[in-house]
Structure formats: structure tokens, C-alpha cells
Amino acid sequence: MTQSFGATSTTDQVLAGVDLTGTRILVTGVSAGLGVETARALAARGAQVTGAARDLEKARAATQGIPRLELVELDLANLASVRAAADKLVADGRPFDLVINNAGVMATPFGKTADGFETQFGTNHLGHFLLTNRIASLLKAGSRVVELSSAGHRFSDVDLEDPNFEHTDYTPFGAYGRSKTANVLFAVEFDRRHKDRGVRATAVHPGGIQTELGRHMTPELVQEMIDSINAAQQASAAAPFEWKTIPQGAATSVWAGVVADADAVGGHYCEDCHVAEVVEEAPAGDGASGRSSLIRGGIRRYAIDPEHAKALWALSEKMVGESF
């Protein structure tokens, strides 16, 4: 890494001078926000981008004008759709240099996916777990997988005994935290399993950005969260919170995917275009003070624990009914 980037770096700044001609990249969630910006920035540097989205009509409108972009239908909350998308990509046979698992949902009311999984865990983790493993044969030596996680992983560790909230009380942010912790753990174990053949995986936190991801949060809840963050920032003499722009939010994804040294980011969690430090603190919960963790930096040790990652992998295989 010859240049240092940070929280305010944009996709165009991170990718300045990078030539991606001849590369092929898969980005999920290209119907809005970070996914569209990620696809745009990569295509602008010559990459052939395959964008995946549940609503293809919306994705076509959102990505209009992006060159060399192909679209594939993918509903992460329906494993039949995930399998169909993966089968289509495998049958096509063209390899990928990078997969960015960007799509997701946040703080939803309690619900279940088409397969009966809790909505956030099923969509954010299990859908991408199945997709990535099913197309792993298309990942050639030197390729990478980038999982979009969040500082929201601080809300909760995964619950390997009760992933669907059948015996524990559901909270929107608690469930979000479980799914985002799962995203990191998946990257840790996928990296361990594939690094010997030159394929690396990492997880990233894009930062606090105003996108469709926050559709389930009321304006009052957003302001409560910002007030909580600023109170914590003031106590530590830090600057007040500022939203990232979408190009700033997508910067860490492309940095980890094509700019950073693979050995530096492989098996790790990144934020603000650097590898995050481990933070040692109690779970935040999902109250007003806990929601400030959605923005604050660092990675909880449980989210990068290799044995924990192996256990989640085994549970995930059982849940989707396939072994990899």
C-alpha cells in the first residue's frame, strides 16, 4: 500500500490510477446506494461488473449509464433464488476477480425469510453464505471476497443455539448485530479455507451513511442515535458525528477489494480504509447508548475468533442444507 486513505476518502480517490481492465467483479445489491456507487466506480476503471439485485427493474434504472454492467436476479431472502443465481453464474463459467457482498437489510421488524429464517440473519448472512460458497469455483487465484459488515456487530454476538429468535426476545438492532457479526465470522472462515489457493476474504464497515438501508428507522430514532454518538464523542473530546457521503461509504469496499495488500486485509475487518483494531468492551445492547456503536470504530474480538467462525460455518451449512 503506497498511499494512505481514511474516513473521508472517496471511491474515486481510492481507485485513482487503478486500471481494472480485464477484471470481472460481482457486486450484490446494485439497486441503490452503496451497491450502485461501488459498481460505478469499478466499471469506471475498466472492470466488467455483474450486479445482483432482487428487483431487476429498479436495478436497471439505478445503474443506467454504467458501462459493461450485467445484471442477475438475486433474492437473498429466498434460497431457491440464491441457488438459481449461483447456478446461472457457474454455468456461464467466467471467473471472478472480486466478489463484494454488499446487499443487506437493517433493523427490520421481526419477520422470516422464505425458508423460515429470521429476516436479518437469513438475508445478510445465510443468503451470502450460500451464494459465495456455490460460486467459489469461479474465484481464481488472486481473487478476493469482501463482506459488508458494520460497527453494528457490536450490538450482539451470534447466537449459535437460537439463530432464529425462537427462545430469545427479538430486538431489531440485536438481530442486526447478530447478522453483522456473522458477516465478519464468515469472512474469517472463508479466508482460512481458501487462502492456500490464493483466494482471500475480508469484512468491511462502510461507516454511517444515509441510504435505503435505514428505511426502517424513524427520523426520531436517527436523531436519538446521533445525539447519543455526540454525547460519547464529547466525553472523549472527539469531533461531532458527520454522515459519510455514499462515495465515502463505498471507499473501504473497493480499497479492501483491489487496492490494499491481500495479506494485510485477509481474514480481518476493515473500516475507513484501514484494518480495524480490536476493542475490548461489553456488548452494547440496543438501547439509545448502544446505537452509538453503529458508527464507532473497532472490531470486537468475538467477531474475528477463528473457532467461533468454524462453529458458525457448521451451523450455516446445517441451516442451508449444504456442505462446502
Single out the catalytic residue among 176, 228, 269, 292.
176
Q: Determine which helix (DSSP H) or strand (DSSP E) holds 278, and give its type and residue range.
A: strand 278-279
Positions of E strands within 127-242: 139-148, 200-205
Single out the catalytic residue among 9, 143, 180, 228.
180
Cell of 24: 470481472
CB count within 10 Å of CB 166 equals 9
How far is it between the farthest Cα atoms of the chain?
56
Judge contact between 39 and 114, C-beta under 8 A. Answer: no
**Residue 176 among the catalytic residues:** yes
Judge contact between 25 and 69, C-beta under 8 A. Answer: no
DSSP single-letter state for residue 245: P
Judge contact between 30 and 71, C-beta under 8 A. Answer: yes
Single out the catalytic residue among 149, 253, 292, 316.
149
The Cα–Cα gap between 132 and 190 comes to 9
**Residue 140 among the catalytic residues:** no
The Cα–Cα gap between 15 and 258 comes to 8
Catalytic residues: 149, 176, 180
